Structure 1
Amino acid sequence: MSVLDETGKRIGRARYTAAQGLRSAWYGAQYMIAKRRSAGFNRPGEPPFKPQNPVDTKELRAAYFRLFAQDRANIEAGLYPAPEDVRVADLGKAVRRAGYFLKDVAEVDRRRVARDGVEVRETLEGSNRYPAYYRQNFHYQTDGWLSDESAKLYDHQVEALFTGSADAMRRQALAEIAREVKGRDQREVALLDLACGTGRFLRETMRAFPRLDARGLDLSPNYAERARQQVAPWPHVEILEGQAEILPLEDASQDVIVSIYLFHELPEKTRREVMREAARVLKPGGAFIIADSLQFGDNEGLDGILEYFPEGFHEPYYKAYLGWDFTPPMEKAGFSLEKTENAFLTKVNVWRKA
């Protein structure tokens, strides 16, 4: 390696460290403010919540920094470009989003204390468009997933919750996409971002591989519209509206399917249906990349913190997910596990269709 190349790497590392440090401080500060404004995990008339497994704070911190070290290593290896989400020009928008987030904390906290996670059902009465499991205020967020305001605020909420690490965790799935695309004509690789949400991850995917034959699918029309805005620079990318368990796609039409934080928010029956649908639309040899929450035993030092999520947020299927074994239903659907890797509080699995 030349001196010039080494100098460029050092500059890149310095920029990355400064940008990610700034993001972590920015979102971490908002998390602390939100935490101070909330009533916590305990509820009137109930015994104080205590996790059965102690939280290893040293391991929590170490896993956090390992994530960013791996993210930077992936960038240096050319798997995907450095993130472009820390810009002075975006400061005004960031401040406004922070204001909306902190303003909504009181409403989220009210639902948490009252255990009111199905408020959104009142607005959907008489509608058969959404399955029953979907008609909830997941995370206690205002409007659930069914308003433009929720779609605008969602990514900011997630980053604040994970103190600026959410995008870096998602990018570990992007590294697996890079390995699938390597040596192939991007135009001939069909990719589906399953439950694409606001399109944040799909946008990063297109930044890395702008010629991919890509599409996203989400059940929320508001989030799907937000996703269309995110991927507007790539007009060939299509955003579909529909259920993950009833995919509007032809058999054996996709080379890669990626799912980010979907399965822990599904009841068990629906998880199995999604697996079967993924197997149906994937080509033989295709990859199903699943990035989702850690489960019990993936990193025992962090088991305790996993117990907090269903207590602090409306996650009706999360407790069952923590001990659920993916392997039997995935193998029954025709998949074999090829790779698994932890990324802080996320686990990335690569499943291959036979």
Structure 2
Amino acid sequence: MSTTSLHSHSRLVPRMAYAASQSARVAWYLGQYMLAARLGARITGRDRVRHPTDKPVPDTRAILEELRALLARDLANIEAGWYRLPHDLVPDPRRVLADAAAFFRDVPLVSRRRRDHVATEVRANPPPGSESLPAYYRQNFHYQTGGYLTEESARLYDHQVEVLFGGGADAMRRQALVPIAQHLRGRRSADSRLLDVATGTGRFLTFVKDNHPRLPVTALDLSPAYLREARRNLAPWARNAALVQGAAEAIPLAEGTQDIVTCIYLFHELPPKIRAQAAREMARVLKPGGILVFMDSLQYGDNPAMDGLLDIFPQAFHEPFYAHYARDDLEALFAAAGLRPRERSLAFMSKLLVLEKPA
């Protein structure tokens, strides 16, 4: 076999593995989305799941085309060496089935909250230890059981998000690995520091650590339950992965200590004033020359074909601050905090910003 043939073969095998796994992933999660929508409609009433919008709403075919483009970009990044194939390309089938069963047990509860517009159960009946958390946080975001405050919610969250995005959530998150790899190029990762703000279950950090195992990371989150789930997920890298309970608007770290700050899907769930405070805090803890890698939902005008979905989303899923976020001037917000934009791009339903603290 020639050198060219060997090279082609070495690329073909991971490409086939990626294509097979991601095709199965999309079919699995998209199928659950469609079934959950059907089951939920029996409770909410079909007339109540049609939300008004005067903006374009993409059909399933258009959404799948956007998802295919995301997966093609994900594979291209892997082949370019920006990050590895996902560490759980073939997930544990027992966990996959258990999570699906738990998800469908929760669908009726979520649907009843949606029907009855009940979104503050966790404030009325706070789980132990959550009473002192900020009021804006003590809500049943997405109408999910337990909000962000229970072990059951933390266990189920990543599965729920994958169902919502038809199996594309991890691929969207992985786009944030590219600017991290670019920033670390030529640096010793062991001498750098990364802070993940609102880490949730630590899912994104598992991708970071899988690619940069010697990079010290700090996982910050308000929820003790989600931090416990993050501890389990980050157990293989526990030696240089710290977990800290704290708020994005009051980060309990010293000024100028972080080379990279990441913030994935937080800002659309923050009130406007808290959003501005969080931006200032992330800028404060960055070193001069450090970067903020920010990913969140699309905003109006980013992809006009998707604008109708931005109308529907906060109505269908309890998101009290989303409508303001979708119109917020993020670059002006970060500029006021002392950060300047370096890159911007779209990835399916998300936007990625890379901002720098001037040296």
Equivalent residue number for residue 268 of structure 2? 264
AA at the equivalent of 1:309: F
CA distance 1:68–1:41, change in 2 (3 Å): farther
> What does 1:160-199 align with in structure 2 at a 5 Å threshold?
160-199=163-202
Q: CA deviation at 1:59?
A: 4.0
Deviates more, 1:48-57 or 1:110-119: 48-57
- CA–CA distance in structure 2, aligned partners of residues 221 and 311 of structure 1: 28
Q: Secondary structure at the match of 2:345?
A: strand
Equivalent residue number for residue 222 of structure 1? 225
Q: CA deviation at 1:63?
A: 1.6
Equivalent residue number for residue 273 of structure 1? 277
- CA–CA distance in structure 2, aligned partners of residues 300 and 16 of structure 1: 30
Equivalent residue number for residue 288 of structure 1? 292
- CA–CA distance in structure 1, aligned partners of residues 333 and 327 of structure 2: 14
Q: Identify which of 338, 343, 354 aligns with 2:342.
A: 338
The count of aligned residue pairs is 353
Given that residues 44 and 112 in structure 2 are in contact (C-alpha distance below 8 angstroms), is that contact kept between their aligned partners in structure 1? no
Q: Identify which of 102, 105, 117 aligns with 2:104.
A: 102
**For residues 203-233 of structure 1, what are the alpha-carbon distances to aligned partners after superposition, in whole Å with 9 as ceiling and x for unaligned?**
1110000000111100000000110111111
CA distance 1:297–1:224, change in 2 (3 Å): same
Given that residues 146 and 222 in structure 1 are in contact (C-alpha distance below 8 angstroms), is that contact kept between their aligned partners in structure 2? yes
Q: Identify which of 39, 59, 80 aligns with 1:77.
A: 80
Aligned pair 1:255/2:259, yes or no?
A: yes
**For residues 113-168 of structure 1, what are the alpha-carbon distances to aligned partners after superposition, in whole Å with 9 as ceiling and x for unaligned?**
11111111022399652111001000100010111111100000000111100000
CA distance 1:48–1:151, change in 2 (3 Å): closer
Q: Identify which of 50, 60, 65 aligns with 1:62.
A: 65
AA at the equivalent of 1:134: Y
Equivalent residue number for residue 15 of structure 1? 17
AA at the equivalent of 1:340: R
Q: Identify which of 231, 235, 245 aligns with 2:234.
A: 231
Equivalent residue number for residue 137 of structure 1? 140
Gaps of 5+ in 2: none
AA at the equivalent of 1:286: G
Q: CA deviation at 1:180?
A: 1.2
TM-score (norm 1): 0.96
Deviates more, 1:325-334 or 1:259-268: 325-334
Q: CA RMSD in A?
A: 1.9
Q: Secondary structure at the match of 2:343?
A: strand
Aligned pair 1:154/2:119, yes or no?
A: no
Equivalent residue number for residue 93 of structure 1? 95
Q: Secondary structure at the match of 1:26?
A: helix
Q: CA deviation at 1:308?
A: 1.7
- CA–CA distance in structure 1, aligned partners of residues 213 and 247 of structure 2: 26
Give the percent of matched residue pairs that are identical in Structure 1 and Structure 2. Answer: 45
**For residues 96-126 of structure 1, what are the alpha-carbon distances to aligned partners after superposition, in whole Å with 9 as ceiling and x for unaligned?**
1100001100000000011111111022399
